[in-house]
Every structure is written in structure tokens, then in C-alpha cells.
Amino acid sequence: MTPPLPSPAVLLATAAGHPLHRLALDPLTAGPLAHPYLRYALLAGTAIAAAAGLVGYFLVLRAQVFTGDALSHTAFTGALAALALGYDLRMGLYAGCVAVALLLGALGRGARTADDVAIGGLFSWALGLGVFFLTLYTSGHAAGRSGTDGGAGTSVLFGSVFGLSAGQAYTAAAVGAGVCAATAVLARPLLFASVDPEVAAARGVPVRLLGYGFLVLVGLCAAEATQAVGSLLLLGLLAAPAGAAHRLTARPYRALALAGALGVAELWTGLALGYAVPGLPPSFAITATATAGYAAAYGVAAVRRRGGEGRGPRTAGSGGLRGPGGLGG
Amino acid sequence: MTSVVFSWNLVADFRDMWAYPFMVNAFRAGAVVAVLAGCVGWFTVLRRETFAGHTLSAVGFPGAAGAALVGVGSTAGYFGFCLAAALVLAVLPAPAGRGSGGPRAALTGTVQAFLLACGYLFTALYKGLLGGVDALLFGSFLGITATQVAVLAAVAAAVLAVLAVVGRPLLFASADPDVAAARGVPVRALGAVFLLLLGATAAEVGQITGSLLVFALLVMPAATAQQLTARPARGLLLSVLLALAATWLGLLAAYYSPCPIGFYVSTFSFGGYVLARAARTAARRFGAVPA
């Protein structure tokens, strides 16, 4: 089992149809990766999972997981509003998520004690509105064709990563890479502003602006990931790898990288499971793998705390944990 | 449902609607659920456990779907899964931090995503789900039987009885956990009991509003009440009344339109909350209420 897992660069080359991969990946391309849908799923999924892991790390750090949950739920409304009004689904996703992200930012006004009730009320109403649009959409289509009841809603809620077209996959990869890059650029000031907002503000860091910018990144990430794992399961990609990374190490940059890496590893494992086991929805496989990863991290952290009280959060376990998760693909 | 028309002759309308036994059952079930949600929701908002409430209610979806898969009644699925999830959240040692803060919320969120994924798996395995996924997620008032109403009422009575017993210490422990712990109140045990009550409530509410919109009935009326008054007794009463109004108005509206009941209940309760907040802001600005 030494080099069966290609690096992301090779994967990108594979998905783009670059001739290079034939040298390195002959057994893989002859197998599962010969299917274009699997290549698209891998390409889009990798970018989405990395972005969700990085963004999720900050969500957990800033105690904004509930906000992430709200954004993922409003993605449903955006998508269905666009469908019902006859626009492209992706436009609704992005517009809806970014608008709600800004609204949530204004509601919280950068305050650290986010108002859970206001956020929850907003998104439960938004979900209700989503159902309204779903009814509008399905009854509008009932005249033309019957039997499509709820199909659109289900695919937005739970995603269809194996149903991505080439165009969707490239967009997803581009947006995911963009979110990753933006998070990496913002990481240092954002870390400062999250850990100690007062001192950061005193040192001239634009704390409020960063808060808005970060929420917009979360919105973009939610909109993108909705197409792959669906708006309901997106929370698994946002919270589980980041929560695991927070458990495993207290060092910020290491945890940030670990969250991204765990997200990608869990997504690959989930895709492989979804491909290998017939009838298993890939969205479930991805979420289940992410949950297993979190449970493993929970166990590792508990054992370590019991074993060596004095040593503090070392990262010895992180390398070991990446192994079993990462080699599944 | 689209064939019925609202005639503005309220008496005739009501007579038509009550002619359907399922509508009568729906109103009864709605009343039971609203009273329960109003009471438990008030404590949920006070304890800032709204995220846990949302997660526990989302669990109802895999519960109902799993029950359909193995061929048990959906009521058993709702209660079984919601109570089990409440136990998991209560027993797992909480990571540092209270309320909806970071690491703890990551745990809650992971549990929520996993269970929703399980629900999706169950519906994927069981193809002939009556009424589809949407009814489970967003509510339906069709086909509520008299037995179901009886079960709802019995569970609600039990939950309210327990809540009445633990109510006072729970109020103390929620308002000021540190002082309560110092005075010998078992804060952690109370928290666990409350999570179980919350689980049972979420299971009840989910059967009416759908798993995803429990928040609208569990949290919104209570939050509205807490905007309007800080006194416990008055707040609880107001919360129950608001929940009842939202449910019955929602049922009424859903009867006359093709949209699911969840849309109306969430719209009415969110509208009430926005109005209450606006009223309070206005009152504070003009000096009627000290902040």
C-alpha cells in the first residue's frame, strides 16, 4: 500500500484528462476512475471538503457552528426559490447564501454572543419559505409532467454528488479553491480577531469587516457544498472534521490544516464507499465517514487525556488518524 | 385539498372543516403539541439549548423513516430516536463551554448531520414512503388518527408532570447554574432530565410541523414571550397561548391552500417574534421599558 493514493495535483490532472496520469495511475484509471461521473465527484468533492474543513475550523473557533447550520439550511430556500421562479439553481444558491450570510452578520453585529434564537427563527422561517417554493415549483410542473413530486427538493436537501456535470464540477472546484485561498489569506488576522477581538481591534485589525468577510466565505462554501452533499448534510462536512481537529490539537495552524486534510480524507473514503457498495447513497457514506472520524478523534483525545495529563495536546495522534481515513480511496 | 374554498362565511367554513374527522384530530393534536411546546420551549430558550432542540427534532426524521423501513408505527420511531439522541447528548461528557459555543456545538452538529444522513439512507432503502420525504421533513396534518392523539396527549401529560416536579430547581439551575450548584442543586442531573424532556417534546412537535420546522413551534413562541415579559408564570402562559395560536392558524391556512402546514406555522410564529422584538425595541427607544 505504498503509493496508491494520488496527490491532489495528479487528481486534478486526471480529471482534466491530462496525459500525465497514465504514467502514474494506470491501475486506477483502468478501474473506477474510468467513469467520468466519479472523476467529477472526486474533483468537486475534494475542493468542497477542503473548503468546508478550513471554514469549519473557524466556525468552531468562533462558536458560530449554529450560524453555519443556518446558512446550510437557507441554501435550500435559495435553490428552490430560483427553481420556482425559473432561474438557474446555482444562482439562487449563491445569492441566497451570501445574502443570508450578510444578514446574519448584521444580526450578530460582530458580537461574540450570537443570538441563537434570532438565527434559529430566521432559518426555520426560511426553511418554511423553501417548502412554499417547493410547492410552487412542483405544482407548477404538475401540469406538464407528473411523478416528479419532491424530487427536486430531495436532491437539494441531500445532494447528488454522483450526478454532477463537467461544468458543475469545474465550477465547484474553482469556487472551492477560491474559498480555500481566501481562508488561507485571511487566516492570520482572522485567528487574531477570533481569539481576542478586543486586542485585535486595538491593534488595528478590522474585526467587524473580517467577521462579515468570513460569513460570506461560509455562505459561498455552503452554496457550493449543497450541490454535492445537500444542504442538510453539509453540517457534517463543516462541523465534524473541524471538531475532530479541535480535539486533536490546540495549535491553530496545525488544527486548520488537519481540519482540511480530515475533510478531504473523509470525503474520499465516503465516495469510495458510495461507489463500492451498491444502494448506499454517497451523501450518507460521506457523512457517516465524517462522523466516524469525529468519534475516533473523540476517543483519541479521551485516551490521551487519561494517559498523559502533563504533556498537553500533542499531535502524535494526528498522523495516525489520517492514515486509516485517507487510504480508503 | 385545493378544491376547498374559503368563503368568508366563517360559521359555514368551520362546519365544513369539522365534518372531516381528520381535521378534528389535527386540531386536537395541534392543541396538545402546542401546550407542550410552549412550556418546554420556554425553558429551552431560558437555558439557551435551542441548538440541542433543533438537533433533537431533526432526529425525528430518521426515526420515522426507520420505523417505516422495519414496519413499526411512526410514533414509536419518533419517540425512540428522539429519546435515544437526547440520552447521547446528555451522557456524552460535554467538551468545554456551555450553550451553543464552539466544540460542544461541533459535537451537536455532527450528531445532527449523521442522523439526518441516516434518515436519508432509510428513505433510500425504503422506496415506498407514503407522502414522501417532504411530509416527514416539513409536516403534514393529514391522517392523524384518534389513537395518535391519545398517545400524544399521554406523553404530553407525562412530560408536563415531570416538568412540574423539577420546574423550580430547573428554573434556578438555568438562571444561575453556579449559585445553584453551590446551594446543592444537582445541576448536571437536571440538565440531563431536561434533555430527555426536550427529546420527547421534539418527537411530539415533529409529528405536526415536520422534523425540520420544530424550531418554529418549540422556540419561537417562547422567545416571543420572553421578549414581552420576564416573569416566569406570565411568560409560560403567554408562550403556550402563542404556540396554540400559531398552530391553529397554521392548520386553518394549510387546510385552504396547497402549501404544507410547516410553512404557515413557521411564518406565523416568526412574524410574531419579529413584531415582539420590534415592539420592545420601540418601547426601549421611547423610554417606556428600562433596558
Q: What is residue B58's predicted lDDT score, i.e. its pLDDT?
A: 85
Q: What is residue B21's predicted lDDT score, i.e. its pLDDT?
A: 81
Residue A62 per-residue DSSP state: T
Confidence of residue A37 (pLDDT cuts 50, 70, 90): confident
* Whether pLDDT at A23 is above 60: no
Q: What is residue B129's predicted lDDT score, i.e. its pLDDT?
A: 59
Asked if A149 and B132 come within 8 Å (Cβ–Cβ), the reply is yes
Asked if A235 and B109 come within 8 Å (Cβ–Cβ), the reply is yes
B190 versus A21: the higher-pLDDT residue is B190
Which of left, alpha, beta for B143 (phi over 0: left; psi -120 to 50: alpha)? Answer: left
Q: How far apart are CA A329 and CA A271, in angstroms?
A: 8
Tens of pLDDT, residue by residue over B78-91, are: 899 899 888 888 87
Greatest mean pLDDT among A123-127, A258-262, B122-126, B183-187 lies in A258-262
The pTM for the full model equals 0.80
DSSP reduced 3-state for B98: coil
Region A39-58: mean pLDDT is 91
Region A274-285: mean pLDDT is 86
Q: What is residue B157's predicted lDDT score, i.e. its pLDDT?
A: 95
**Contact with chain A for residue B131, Cβ under 8 A:** no
Asked if B113 and A124 come within 8 Å (Cβ–Cβ), the reply is no
The mean-pLDDT minimum among A116-120, A164-168, A183-187, B1-5 falls in: B1-5
Q: How far apart are CA B211 and CA B63, in angstroms?
A: 10
Tens of pLDDT, residue by residue over A299-314, are: 888 888 777 554 444 4
**Contact with chain A for residue B143, Cβ under 8 A:** no
Q: What is residue A109's predicted lDDT score, i.e. its pLDDT?
A: 59
Q: What is residue A311's predicted lDDT score, i.e. its pLDDT?
A: 46
C-alpha cell at A319: 498522523
CA angle B82, B84, B85 (to 5 degrees): 65
B225 contacts in chain A (CB < 8 Å): none
Q: What is residue B32's predicted lDDT score, i.e. its pLDDT?
A: 93
ipTM: 0.81
Please name the residue that has the C-alpha cell 444537582: B186
Other beta carbons within 10 angstroms of residue A213's beta carbon come to 17
User: Percent of chain B at pLDDT above 70?
Assistant: 91
Give the number of beta-carbon pairs within 8 Å between A and B: 181
A127 contacts in chain B (CB < 8 Å): 138, 212-213, 262, 266
Q: How far apart are CA B221 and CA B242, in angstroms?
A: 5
* Whether pLDDT at B174 is above 60: yes
Confidence of residue A140 (pLDDT cuts 50, 70, 90): low
The residue type at A259: A
Q: What is residue B60's predicted lDDT score, i.e. its pLDDT?
A: 87
Asked if B102 and A288 come within 8 Å (Cβ–Cβ), the reply is no
CA A305 distance to own-chain centroid: 29
Tens of pLDDT, residue by residue over A194-229, are: 888 888 888 888 888 888 999 999 999 998 888 777
B209 contacts in chain A (CB < 8 Å): none
A149 contacts in chain B (CB < 8 Å): 132, 134
Mean pLDDT of chain A, nearest integer: 78
What are the DSSP calls for A3-57, one per residue?
S-SPPHHHHHHHHTT-TTHHHH-HHHHHTGGGSHHHHHHHHHHHHHHHHHHHHHH
Tens of pLDDT, residue by residue over B95-124, are: 544 444 567 788 888 888 888 888 888 888
B275 contacts in chain A (CB < 8 Å): none
Burial class (CB in 10 A: 0-12, 13-18, 19+), B21: exposed
Greatest mean pLDDT among A104-108, B172-176, B232-236 lies in B232-236
Q: What is residue B243's predicted lDDT score, i.e. its pLDDT?
A: 93
* Whether pLDDT at B200 is above 90: yes
Q: Which of residues 161-190 of B touch A (CB under 8 A)?
A: none
Q: How far apart are CA A76 and CA A131, in angstroms?
A: 9
Q: How far apart are CA B22 and CA A289, in angstroms?
A: 42
Confidence of residue A249 (pLDDT cuts 50, 70, 90): confident
* Whether pLDDT at B128 is above 50: yes
